[in-house]
Amino acid sequence: MRSPPDKAIRVLVVDDEAPARQRLTDLLGKHQRVGPVLEAADGRMALNMIQAERPDLVFLDVQMPELTGMAVLDAIGTAQMPLTIFVTAYDQHAVRAFEANALDYLLKPFSDERFEVTMLRAESRLNDLDARELGRRMFRTLSMLPAADPYLDRLVVKSAGTTQFIRASDIDWIEAAGVYVNLHVAGKAILYRASLQELADRLDPLRFIRVHRSAIVNIDSVVRLEPISHGEFDVLLKHGARARVSRTYRPLLEKRLGQTL
């Protein structure tokens, strides 16, 4: 019997079929860095275990009764999910898996060789210390949230009798517009009836950073920073937009980046 490795990878296998869970557990047992494997037989159990056990890696079945794998991801939120590998018997779910920022997906029935390719990718990602620290910070943030009031992952915009759903991750930046704000998405400005401070309090602080009294930027949309003067910078964003980083809010950006500017 092998001894548990240092800094063992905590893995959760979620599948409503016991043979499918056993196959993954057997394959994971061959990896020295993998600790005891946790199992969940349905989506609701997976939700509880993800929040309570905080695994490093989740193998998540897509098709399950009552609560699907995608529903689990929506309930937790993509920003708070551990590193996720979707497992599915349906190839059409692969596109949705990658849209949800999954590391990889396994199409049933998968070979041992395909599983090993996936595990190499997972271990490489977990070896990235920045990614591991980011995961720990996301879970600490999740544990402090009230259960009924998670960070917004979608914004509902009502205009001219229509209702539009905007994924938070698609927003490049947010600009104050009087008492409301403009959401900048793919180069277009969309009026949203909330204050800038309200959104600053409701959006994931690991993704959205206040850089000015009138601007919040999505860190994933930042292309580069350009120094202006007196400690201020311009943030160049996707689709050509610019936002000013003021001296007042510069420390927040430096804290998020983990380095000085």
Kindly report, residue by residue over 116-162, the tens digit of the pLDDT.
Answer: 999 998 888 887 744 556 656 666 665 665 554 478 888 999 877 78
Most confident option among 88-92, 125-129, 166-170: 166-170
State the average pLDDT over residues 91-109.
69
Which CATH number describes the domain made up of 11-144? 3.40.50.2300
212 strand-pairing partners: 215
Judged against a pLDDT cut of 80, whether residue 198 lies above it is answered with yes
Would you state the pLDDT for residue 210?
93
pLDDT band at 101 (very low <50, low <70, confident <90, very high): low
State the average pLDDT over residues 49-54.
92
CA-CA distance, 62 to 60, in Å (whole number)? 6
The share of the chain scoring above pLDDT 70, in percent, equals: 85
The CATH architecture that domain 154-257 belongs to is: Beta Barrel (2.40)
Residue-averaged pLDDT of the chain: 84
Computed on alpha carbons and rounded to an integer, the radius of gyration of the chain in Å comes to 21
Per-domain boundaries in the chain: 11-144, 154-257
State the average pLDDT over residues 208-224.
92
Q: Are strands 222-227 and 233-237 parallel, antiparallel or unpaired?
A: antiparallel
CA-CA distance, 208 to 223, in Å (whole number)? 15
Q: Please choose, from the candidates 56, 45, 58, the residue with its C-alpha nearest in 3D space to the C-alpha of residue 13.
A: 58
* Start-to-end C-alpha separation, the chain: 50
pLDDT band at 99 (very low <50, low <70, confident <90, very high): low
What is the torsion angle, in degrees rounded to the nearest 10, for the CA atoms of residue 54, residue 60, residue 66 and residue 70? Answer: 90
Pick the residue with more confidence: 230 or 110?
110
Tokens of 248: 């007042």
State the average pLDDT over residues 50-60.
92
Pick the residue with more confidence: 144 or 227?
227
CA 216 and chain centroid, separation: 18
Neighbours of 24 (CB within 10 A): 22
Would you state the pLDDT for residue 3?
38
Which H or E run contains 57?
A: strand 57-61
Contact between 145 and 151 under an 8 Å Cβ cutoff? The reply is yes
Q: Please choose, from the candidates 60, 79, 217, 58, the residue with its C-alpha nearest in 3D space to the C-alpha of residue 140.
A: 79
Judged against a pLDDT cut of 60, whether residue 237 lies above it is answered with yes
